[in-house]
Structure 1
């Protein structure tokens, strides 16, 4: 796997980590920290739906993948509409886990990428879920 993909993947964690760090400060009101965290999480979740959308149309698959590909975007949108609700961060966190496991079952990857991509997704998703848990506890 190209090292730039790994670097970009890990760079995508910076808003999660940075916003969690902001919960210890008074730089921003806590309500804005939670809102920004929710917004970033929802937008990033929709990215994973795009991966499946591309996989479905590029492989001319006729199964459920193209429909499932829309779920992360819809879930993210619903979470944005209810950004202050207590269930939102848990829903986003569970959605990251679900799409990661769905990736392992359905995503068509070249053989040489399977191990690296799976490891990268596991690492990234672990940090994302821990960040969500911390943000939930911080509320």
Structure 2
């Protein structure tokens, strides 16, 4: 896995960690921290759908993968619409895990690239899920 991909992946975790910390250190009110968190999470989830859109087009697989590629964007948008409900954090968290599992079994990459990509994603997704749980804990 290229060093830049690892670095950018880790940098992508900053908002997930920063928003609960911002509330805990009284830098943001909880409602504002939660809204920013959901907004970032929904946007990033949408990005993972784009990976499958590209994979389907570049490998001329216009089957269900292209349609499933749209699900993260639709789920992210619905989470923005219903962002005042604490269940949104659970939906987003489970969506990250579902997309990771779909990635593992669907992406058309050479085996060594799939292994390194999934390994990176597993670590990053674990932190993302913990941060969603952290926000649920703060709100509840």
Q: Same fold (TM over 0.5)?
A: yes
Where has structure 1 moved over 6 Å in runs of 4 or more?
none
TM-score w.r.t. the length of structure 1 is 0.97
- Gap runs ≥5 in structure 2: none
Task: Tell me, in whole angstroms, the C-alpha distance in 1 between the residues paired with 2:33 and 2:67.
Answer: 32
Q: Counterpart in 1 of 2:8?
A: 8
Q: Counterpart in 1 of 2:137?
A: 137
CA displacement, residues 27-50 of structure 1 (integer Å, 9 cap, x when unaligned): 111100000000000000000000
CA displacement, residues 41-77 of structure 1 (integer Å, 9 cap, x when unaligned): 0000000000000000110003210000000000000
Q: Counterpart in 2 of 1:102?
A: 102
- Gap runs ≥5 in structure 1: none
Q: Supply the RMSD in Å over aligned alpha carbons.
A: 0.8
Kindly indicate whether residue 50 of structure 2 is the aligned counterpart of residue 50 of structure 1: yes
Task: Tell me, in whole angstroms, the C-alpha distance in 2 between the residues paired with 1:25 and 1:7.
Answer: 26
